[in-house]
Amino acid sequence: MPAGGFLASQPATLWFLGCLALFTLGVTVLAEGFGSGTLSTSMVKILGMTLCLCLIAVAMDVVWGYCGILSLGHFAFFGIGGYAIGMWLMYARTEGIVTEALLSAPIPPTETEITDAIAGQIFGVVGSSELPALWGFAHSLPLQLAMVVLVPGLLALVFGWLAFRSRVTGVYLSILTQAMTLALSLYLFQNDSGLRGNNGLSGLQNIPGLDHVPQATLSLWFFWASAAALGLGYLFFAWLVSDKFGSVIRAIRDNEARVRFLGYEVEHYKLVVFTLTAVVAGIAGALYYPQAGIVNPAEIAPIASIYLAVWVAIGGRGRLYGAVIGAAVVSLASSWFTGGGAPAIDLGFYTINWTDWWLVLLGFGFVAVTLFLPRGIGGVFDRLVRKS
Amino acid sequence: MRPDPLRACFHVLALLLALLLPDAGHAQTSLQPLLQEHRAAIATPARGTAGAMVAALLSSGHPEAAEFLRRWQDRGVVERRADGMFLYSDDAGGLREIDGGMAVTGLTSRDVSPIRPNAGVRAVVAAALVPLALSDPDPERRRAALDAIARSPEAGQIAPLMASLDVETDAGLRARKARLLTLLTAQFGPDRADRLAAIEGLAGDIAIEARAVLNQITGRVPGVAASLPEGANIARVLEVGEDLTGIEAHDRLVAANLAPPRPTPKDLRDALAAQIEGGSVGGIPLHRLDTQAMRLRAYEALEAAGRVPPRSGPAEVTDAVAAHVFFETYTEPDAEITAAAEQALSATTRQIALYQGADLILDGLSLASIFFLAAIGLAITFGVMGVINMAHGEFIMMGAYTGYVVQIFVPDYTVSLIVALPLAFAVTFGAGVAMERLVIRHLYTRPLETLLATFGISIALQQLAKNIFGTQARPLTAPDWLGGALTFNDIVGISSIRVAIFVLALIFLALLLYILKRTRLGLEVRAVTQNPGMAASMGINPDRINMLTFGLGSGIAGIAGVAIGLYAQVTSEMGANYIVQSFMTVVVGGVGNVWGTLAGASMIGFLQKGIEWFNPSNTLAAQTYMILFIILFIQFRPKGIVALKGRAAGD
């Protein structure tokens, strides 16, 4: 099917891409257009990060909402993407600093001396001075970019192959994926994991070689990159689920056994979906963490992946724009409430301070959405569209 | 008058006697003059002077000397400023004469200056008093003396210990003396046969003091020489390439001043940097010195020109290492003794391995019962009913906080525990029933969405607890009778709380099995979970049963919370720490079966302790590997260890 025909058959996708383009334009104008910038740099960063979260939410929607696999481990792939790009960012930046320092020495440094100095800088905090083998590719941006795609992809492929092959489904699969992300985060918490233990990788907001570019501009670049990634990712998944492939995975969601009896290799379909979404999650993470500035093992604790599922559920499963709405609404509301943006409510005898009470509200909000809006916020849209 | 030789002899003898026993006259009368002879050492205690003074006082044979020293080291002696006389001061602040014990009145604290020996001086006194204290009439003093010997054993203690052994009346002290004598003999005994016998007696003895003695005897020091020294007690000869690397061997040579050190890359760089001339070193331009090979070439050029000292290159290192032997010698010179000690040690090591195995099993059992307690409520709500309750961990937390609140109101820890257990059950039972009625009931047809709704409740409850109790950990104190530990020997031991948790886990297992298999409620629960429609048509009210079952599972979580809170601290996040592990326990064990949960908890508990045993410093790694193992395990047994068969298995 030609691309034009595909888009013509998908008004929702066109609408979404249009909105995204408008939003990007709006943010750019507000941040740069009036000289000083109406939107602060940190706000641009938050919006860019939110777009990355929307991208992983879209991936989650495909794997859960379309294929019926409730993965509670997709944030692990997100984190791996962040670690992969973070290794290059940290290595290259430290290399720049170290080389500069060593150049002032009377004799030019050897390769080993540079590597040792970099390792000392990066791993001094965990009491080591050797560069682990894991960092073998860290000097090269293209190789680490390949890692962003390959490591989550391979992990998902192996894990998914093992799990789907032995027909682990439903809740069991959820718990298994949760165990995976727990194991990964526990592993990374160790100081000798080769990734700086609970310190994580930090200083990622400084891009090597771009020291002369102010953070305001950098954050806008990352915002554009995030918007582009979200647009492309959305387009790709919209195309994927619109085709016959989409029909098959929806059928797997609704009745796996029947699809198998019809002669489809259910496991292969699931594996493709699981792996593709993991790769997209990795890419989203690689764009997210340079804007956040730090990636540490706490990021991929099981609770993060549960939040991801909750965003998708609140936004509305089985419709890609629903995932985007859910992720954007919940994460932006979270930062508004916990950031002190919301005014405290004085009840006379007690003052409701939103930094303390936001999670309570959010928690009961989940319950309310699950009970009364099973199709999520996206479902409300559907109803309105159908009525008009 | 003719001199009387006999008489003269007598005079000489008397004179000699007087010389030999200089203080014989004082002994009967008073101690104070003797003390005045050593007044400097007594009035200003110092480690350097105390030894001689103590020896002098004790050798005087004065019966009160030991008592004086004891009081002196306990800071019970003061000096009268007016005349420098020493006085005893008792606890009430009263002063007494040293000789005769007459009370001295009319002195204020300004008239006397206190004497305060420091810890070092007191140790000197204590050591000197030990031989005397060994036959002291007070058994407490004898015990203290024995403890002092055990802390710092010395060769000189053998004789007084042996002497006091025969007159010891207390059986327990006698055994302790005999044991210390064995230890001392093994280490310092003058007679070789005695030592060998004592060492053999220590074989397989796992007590730390026995092991310390054997380790002392078999202590080794590394050595290096051109050839093996004659007459030394060589423990073993080290082969370069097998027991130690060439670099390590060379390091030992360097440490023993038998070879010049190897230059490090840094030395090389510094040496070159000092020889820069017009932008080049040794004829090589500076910018080309960015590899190790080029630097070595530059150094060789400098060496040829005689401008830097020669360095020991790889060939010299090899030659130097080959020209020497590396070995370890025992500090104990007698080879027969060390051989016996090594043999005794290996017997001990075997014994220790055995006990460590037993200890590991106890640890595993204890961890397994904690996992079981945390998971057993889940085994009902998730295992039997199929409800994924992410707020299960928060029920554990609620139980623990209930215990904490009860302790605020009921100060007696035993009573508060007795109150807290049923109250925690009641609180979480109520919470569970409310949750089932309000939320879960509407979601029975959508199991994955139960996960989301209960997760929402979980984070709301967690934050509520944080708002009410604050973020810092709250203590849940165990009563005294749970505070101790069950110690079998120096290696095998377990704290009483863990025993209590184990017992509690057993009680729950029995109770749950009884309820599910032997009561009407259990029958109805099983009927409703297998086929709600059919059960309803038989007159069972499924709503009521679901409510009660969920309440039961939640209530058990509450009690588990009290138990867990007793050995870990109570925080708002404590439940979250157990939730993933609990789900894994249930899944690994097999859903829908209490025995399965037991099997799952046992496997996970023992596995984790087993992995920790290989690498005790790293519990994080142990947890990681255990989870990886579980992931693999589920691949091969997707239905868990105890899988249901037939229709009960569902799909």
For B262-324, the three-class secondary structure string (H helix, E strand, C coil) is: CCCHHHHHHHHHCCCECCEECCEEHHHCCCHHHHHHHHHHHHHCCCCCCCCCHHHHHHHHHCC
Split at pLDDT 50, 70, 90, the class of B588 is confident
Which carries the bigger pLDDT value, residue A324 or residue B48? A324
Distance CA B421, CA B461 (A): 21
DSSP state of B98: S
CB neighbourhood size of B330 (10 A) = 22
Query: Which one of B26-30, B276-280, B437-441 scores highest in mean pLDDT?
Result: B437-441
Distance CA A270, CA A156 (A): 11
Cβ–Cβ gap A162/B632 under 8 Å:
yes
The whole-chain average pLDDT of chain B stands at: 82
pLDDT, one tens digit per residue, over B455-476 is: 899 999 999 999 999 888 888 8
Distance CA A10, CA A18 (A): 13
Q: What is the mean pLDDT of residues A358-385?
A: 84
Split at pLDDT 50, 70, 90, the class of B430 is very high
Judged against a pLDDT cut of 60, whether residue B651 lies above it is answered with no
Q: What are the CA-CA distances from residue B74 to residues B69, B91, B93, B122, B349 (Å)?
A: 8, 11, 14, 8, 42
Split at pLDDT 50, 70, 90, the class of B29 is low
pLDDT value of residue A166: 84
Judged against a pLDDT cut of 50, whether residue B640 lies above it is answered with yes
pLDDT value of residue B373: 87
Half-sphere exposure of residue A363: CA atoms within 13 angstroms, side-chain side: 19
Judged against a pLDDT cut of 80, whether residue B15 lies above it is answered with no
Split at pLDDT 50, 70, 90, the class of A272 is very high
- Percent of chain A having pLDDT more than 90? 46
How many A/B residue pairs have CB atoms within 8 Å?
154
Distance CA B622, CA B599 (A): 19
Judged against a pLDDT cut of 50, whether residue B395 lies above it is answered with yes
pLDDT value of residue B465: 93
Split at pLDDT 50, 70, 90, the class of B429 is very high
Nearest to B289 among A108, A182, A309 (CB): A108
Q: What is the dihedral of CA B503, B505, B508, B510, to 10 degrees?
A: -70
Residue found by looking up tokens 């995932």 in the block: A323
Cβ–Cβ gap B453/A113 under 8 Å:
no
Q: Tokens representing B647?
A: 């229709």
A297 contacts A78 by C-beta, under 8 angstroms: no
Q: What are the CA-CA distances from residue B154 to residues B146, B149, B164, B185 (Å)?
A: 12, 8, 16, 10
pLDDT, one tens digit per residue, over B139-191 is: 887 888 888 787 777 777 787 888 787 777 788 888 888 888 888 888 888 88
Residue found by looking up tokens 């029920």 in the block: B395
Residues in contact with A21: Cβ distance below 8 Å, sequence separation at least 6, in sequence order: A231
pLDDT value of residue B471: 86
Q: What is the mean pLDDT of residues B204-232?
A: 82
pLDDT value of residue B99: 80
Q: Tokens representing B90?
A: 């008792």
pLDDT value of residue B27: 45
pLDDT value of residue B14: 52
Q: Tokens representing A381?
A: 């849209």
Distance CA B425, CA B406 (A): 13
Nearest Cα neighbor of B561 from B432, B394, B333, B429 is: B394
DSSP bridge pairs for B494: B486
User: Which residue of chain B has the CA closest to A183?
Assistant: B624
Nearest to B618 among A180, A190, A371 (CB): A190
ipTM of the predicted structure? Answer: 0.84
B403 vs chain A: nearest CA distance in angstroms? 23
Judged against a pLDDT cut of 60, whether residue B649 lies above it is answered with no
Q: What are the CA-CA distances from residue B607 to residues B363, B479, B493, B622, B643 (Å)?
A: 11, 31, 20, 9, 20
Split at pLDDT 50, 70, 90, the class of B53 is confident
Nearest Cα neighbor of A316 from A67, A64, A52, A18 is: A64
Q: What is the mean pLDDT of residues B582-605?
A: 86
Nearest Cα neighbor of B373 from B520, B511, B469 is: B511
Judging by DSSP bridges, how do beta strands A294-295 and B485-487 pair with one another?
unpaired
Contact list, B623 vs chain A (CB under 8 Å): 183, 186
Cβ–Cβ gap B457/A364 under 8 Å:
yes
Give the residue extent of every domain in chain A: 3-387
B542 vs chain A: nearest CA distance in angstroms? 21
B388 contacts B440 by C-beta, under 8 angstroms: no
Judged against a pLDDT cut of 90, whether residue B97 lies above it is answered with no
Distance CA A300, CA A181 (A): 6
Cβ–Cβ gap B587/A175 under 8 Å:
yes
Residue B569, SS3 per DSSP = coil
User: Which residue of chain A has the CA closest to B576?
Assistant: A303
User: Which residue of chain A has the CA closest to B584?
Assistant: A175
Residues 85-144 of chain A with CB under 8 A from chain B are 105-113
Judged against a pLDDT cut of 70, whether residue A298 lies above it is answered with yes
Distance CA B178, CA B182 (A): 6
pLDDT value of residue B85: 83
What is the rounded end-to-end Cα distance, in angstroms, of chain A? 30
Q: Which has the minimum average pLDDT: B3-17, B24-38, B44-58?
A: B3-17
Q: Tokens representing B569?
A: 């601290």
pLDDT, one tens digit per residue, over A188-235 is: 998 888 888 889 999 898 888 888 888 888 899 999 999 999 999 999
pLDDT value of residue B566: 87
Contact list, A120 vs chain B (CB under 8 Å): none
Distance CA B178, CA B410 (A): 49
pLDDT value of residue B22: 46
Nearest Cα neighbor of A333 from A324, A342, A343 is: A342
pLDDT value of residue B25: 43
Which carries the bigger pLDDT value, residue B440 or residue B159? B440
Q: Tokens representing A243?
A: 């085709």
Judged against a pLDDT cut of 60, whether residue B20 lies above it is answered with no
pLDDT, one tens digit per residue, over A130-145 is: 888 888 888 889 999 9
Nearest to B584 among A105, A175, A186 (CB): A175
Distance CA A58, CA A281 (A): 9
